Amino acid sequence: MHIGTRIRYYRLLRDLSPEELVEGITTVPFLTSIENNEHTPSIEMLSQLCERLEIPFMTYPNEVLTQSLEEWKYSLLNNNKEKASTIFKEVSTKISPREDIQLILTYQVFLIRYFILIDQIEKSANLIEKIKPFHFEMPDDLKFSFQKFHGNYLYCIGQFIEASKMFSNAKNYLFAIQNHINEEKADLFYMLGLALGRINKNTLSVFYVEEALSLFQQTYQIKRCTDCHMMLGLIYNRMQDYDEAEKNYLIAKQLAESLDYQNLINKIEHNLGLLKAQQGKSKEAITHYLNSYHDQTKQDDQLQIIINIIKEYYKIGFIHEVKLWIKQGFKLIDSENKDKHKNHYIELMFYQYIVNGYPEGFENFVLNEAIPYYENIKQYHSIVIFSKQLGDYYQKKKEFQNAATSFATANSAYEKILKL
């Protein structure tokens, strides 16, 4: 990279304006031309600029650091948090202004992915903004990493359209990757498939995830193959191709069991339950939910499974079981964590009102607690369900005007779903 890039990097890092940096040395227009790599300063001027920036005049190649960064990149590619953390501690003590600016930017780019890996997303955001001005001056392999890691960040914060664009941009620089090309390509295609699936571009999503699966198979990455089959199950389920969805879930489960990948096994069982529920096979759905529940440790996941079990038991008229699972759900929610699990609490209350014959307070609960909550979080499908149930309740009481109002609320929420 050029001298001007190094000057601009440290000027921005030191939070110096162009005027502050050039005072007594040169002019702002000439500094701008230096930073844009249009002119090369004299040795004397460069020495003065470096002195004001408090950086060494010379930089030196560092093969040891270069190798460490390459190893760090590979640990990040494999989502190996323990090894990535170890290398980070080692590398972070070696980085100094004496290093070449390309090495420093490489470290900063890899740091974006590392912060995502250790769930420090905000730090990734700050780094991305810091590095953006230097993106076009990076070598192509570093541009690839920056685009991909930027996409990872956007995916984590739910900006799936922008993430898919960033991953697509990264594809343009695959030619520059020299090490672990199949693994890099597979990881990129997997993430692109995930992002496309999130924006309902299901056919494209299937294409990229299947491409990733093929590449992971070539490099014998069984865990990543498992993730791919899991994702394909989700996409095919969304496309209502239930046979393909079940086939991929079962392959994922078999692979996960061979790896003792318990966390994913639980998710697969839960998703198989959702699949069977969509097919109207409530008893099979309940079996899968129960398999998922017994090995589940996270309270939020336990509550979601309980809600799903309640729904299926209610569908087939097993009211006694519904009441038992409502009781189990409320055991996990106390006054201290009620707000944290507000969604689950409302659903438990909803079914408790229903199975107990709509005791006093049902109408107030739906109109003044449930629907305002779901409107606030834009969970329109729940508004449809709750409003229809309230409408049925009014009809049984022969309050037809109130029933019509509730059904109208349900229709309005349904129209919002269609617009989404």
Calculate mean pLDDT across residues 110-126.
Answer: 95
Mean pLDDT of 328-335: 86
Q: How far is CA 210 from CA 222, 237, 250, 253, 272, in A?
A: 14, 15, 16, 17, 20
Superfamily of domain 3-53: lambda repressor-like DNA-binding domains (1.10.260.40)
pLDDT at 418 over 90: no
Q: Is there a contact between 192 and 208 (Cβ–Cβ < 8 Å)?
A: yes
Write the DSSP symbol of residue 409. Answer: H
Res. 1: pLDDT tops 60:
no
Q: What pLDDT is stored for residue 28 in this prediction?
A: 85
The hierarchical CATH code for the domain 180-258 is: 1.25.40.10
Look up tokens 């392959």; give the residue: 251
Q: Mean pLDDT in the chain?
A: 90
CA distances from 199 to 160, 204, 236 (A): 7, 11, 14
DSSP 251: H
Q: How confident is the model at residue 33 (pLDDT cuts 50, 70, 90)?
A: confident
pLDDT at 316: 95
pLDDT of residue 163: 97
CA nearest neighbour of 90 among 114, 65, 112: 65
Q: What is the pLDDT of residue 414?
A: 84
Mean pLDDT for 176-192 is 92
8 Å CB contact between 388 and 410: yes
Query: Tokens representing 45?
Result: 């001027």
Confidence of residue 84 (pLDDT cuts 50, 70, 90): very high
Tokens of residue 166, six digits = 């960033």
Helix (H) or strand (E) holding 34: helix 28-35
298 vs 325 pLDDT, higher one: 325
Which SS3 state, helix, strand or coil, does residue 130 take? helix
Q: Which pLDDT score, from 0 to 100, does residue 420 have?
A: 59
Neighbouring CB atoms inside 10 A of 95's CB total 17
Q: Mean pLDDT, to the nearest integer, of 227-237?
A: 96
Determine contact, residues 82/41, Cβ cutoff 8 Å: no
Percent of the chain whose predicted confidence (pLDDT) is above 90: 65
**pLDDT tier, 308 (very low <50, low <70, confident <90, very high otherwise):** very high
Report d(CA 386, CA 408) in Å as an integer: 12
Angle between helices 140-156 and 101-117 (to 10 degrees): 20
pLDDT in tens, 130-177: 888 888 878 899 999 999 999 999 999 999 999 999 999 999 999 988
Band of the pLDDT at 30, cuts 50, 70, 90?
confident
pLDDT at 246: 96
Domain extent listing, the chain: 3-53, 180-258
CA–CA separation, 348 and 417 (whole Å): 23
For residue 59, pLDDT beyond 80:
no
Compute the average pLDDT of residues 315-330.
94
Q: What is the CA radius of gyration of the chain?
A: 28
What does the alpha-carbon distance between residue 234 and residue 213 come to, in Å, rounded to a whole number? 15
The 10s digit of each residue's pLDDT in 291-305 is 998 877 788 889 999
